[in-house]
Structure 1
Amino acid sequence: MPSQVSIHPGLDRGVKAGRADFNGGTLVCACTERPVKVGIKGTVFHNHACGCSKCWKPEGATFSVVAVAPHENVTVLENGDKLKVVDPTALIQRHACIKCGVHMYGPVERDHAFKGLDFVHPERFQEQGWPEPTFAAFVSSIIETGTPPAAMAGVRSRLRELHLEPYDCLSPTLMDVISTWVAKKAGTLQE
Structure 2
Amino acid sequence: MPNIAIHPSIDSGFNATDAAFSGGTLVCNCTSNPVKVRIKSDIAHNHACGCSKCWKPDGAVFSVVAVAPTDNVEVLENGDKLAVVDSAALIQRHACKRCGVHMYGPVERDHAFKGLSFVHPERFQEEGWAKPGFAAFVSSIIESGYDPAKMDGVRARLRELGLEPYDCLNPGLMDYLATWTAKKNGVLAQ
Interval containing the TM-score (normalised by the shorter chain): over 0.9
User: Structure 1 CA distance, aligned partners of 2:145 and 2:4?
Assistant: 14
Q: Secondary structure at the match of 1:52?
A: coil
Maintained 8 Å contact 1:15/1:162: no
Identity percentage of aligned residues: 72
Maintained 8 Å contact 1:138/1:170: yes
TM-score scaled by length of structure 1: 0.98
Matches within 5 A, 1:104-115: 104-115=103-114
* Partner residue, 1:177: 176
User: Structure 2 CA distance, aligned partners of 1:9 and 1:165?
Assistant: 18
* Partner residue, 2:42: 43
Letter of the aligned partner of 1:91 in structure 2? L
Q: CA deviation at 1:3?
A: 4.0
Q: Secondary structure at the match of 2:99?
A: coil
User: Structure 2 CA distance, aligned partners of 1:11 and 1:114?
Assistant: 25
Unaligned runs of 5+ in 1: none
Letter of the aligned partner of 2:70 in structure 1? H
Matches within 5 A, 1:56-71: 56-71=55-70
* Partner residue, 2:139: 140
Q: Secondary structure at the match of 1:30?
A: coil
Q: Secondary structure at the match of 1:10?
A: helix
Letter of the aligned partner of 1:17 in structure 2? A
Q: CA deviation at 1:42?
A: 1.3
User: Structure 2 CA distance, aligned partners of 1:155 and 1:17?
Assistant: 24
Letter of the aligned partner of 1:170 in structure 2? L
Letter of the aligned partner of 1:67 in structure 2? A
Letter of the aligned partner of 1:163 in structure 2? G
Q: CA deviation at 1:10?
A: 1.3
User: Structure 2 CA distance, aligned partners of 1:127 and 1:185?
Assistant: 38
Maintained 8 Å contact 1:26/1:40: yes
Q: CA deviation at 1:14?
A: 2.7
* Partner residue, 2:95: 96
User: Structure 2 CA distance, aligned partners of 1:117 and 1:3?
Assistant: 37
Letter of the aligned partner of 1:36 in structure 2? V
Q: Secondary structure at the match of 1:11?
A: helix
Matches within 5 A, 1:9-28: 9-28=8-27
User: Structure 1 CA distance, aligned partners of 2:18 and 2:135?
Assistant: 20
C-alpha RMSD of matched pairs (Å): 0.9
User: Structure 2 CA distance, aligned partners of 1:79 and 1:14?
Assistant: 32
Kindly tell me the number of residue pairs found equivalent between the two proteins.
190
User: Structure 2 CA distance, aligned partners of 1:80 and 1:30?
Assistant: 14
Q: Secondary structure at the match of 1:159?
A: helix
